Chains A and B, each alone.
Chain A
């Protein structure tokens, strides 16, 4: 069975500092990996995804993530935090097939705070 672990339910950084949100997954087969962002009182929006190919994936708003198979990790980074990055971030994994294999398994989320 697949699972996702996000280390740290809350992360606080200063404006301009590096953002690092950690995600580790468990999967018996190479998965698809996703990062979603949720702003207060809104739905989830896709930040970036890894399916195949290049392991360093760039997303919207300056975020990127690197798929490391040996570490079963997919950590999210941004070189310089902005106040507008304050939100909750969810890592998710799915299989590569259709039907139930394509269902997303979500981590519990990491709430990012950005201090001025």
Chain B
């Protein structure tokens, strides 16, 4: 099993551009999550999903959108990128909503 995979690993965006961060898991987990990590701030939950077709906002959803059309995939969409979205983004999945398995992260810079 590859676990949780994320693409791309790194990306530089210009202000106002948009992009999609990809996340795929092969563990057949129902729960999936997107976090952002900023230095000294821990991880903040952006969006989560408890199953295909179901998504909900986390603590910091503004400026982001998600979809969950399949169990495996949970892409995160950034529209109109802003410097405040410069961060490291982690995707995670869970079989039961508690213990989570993390991907390697995507480092995004918005200039």
Residues of A within 8 A of B (CB): 9, 32, 34, 36, 41-46, 49, 51, 90, 94, 96-104, 106-109
Contacts and interface: CB of A to CB of B under 8 A. Distances in A.
Contacts, number: 62
Contact of A100 (B44, B56, B105): B56
Contact of A102 (B4, B41, B42, B94): B94
A98 B96 contact: yes
A42 B4 CA distance: 12
Interface residues of B, number: 26
Interface of B: 4, 31, 33, 40-45, 48, 50, 56, 58, 90, 92, 94, 96-105
Nearest to A45: B102
Given A42-B104, A98-B50, A103-B48, A108 B42 contact: yes
A12 B94 CA distance: 33
Contact of B90 (A43, A99, A100): A43
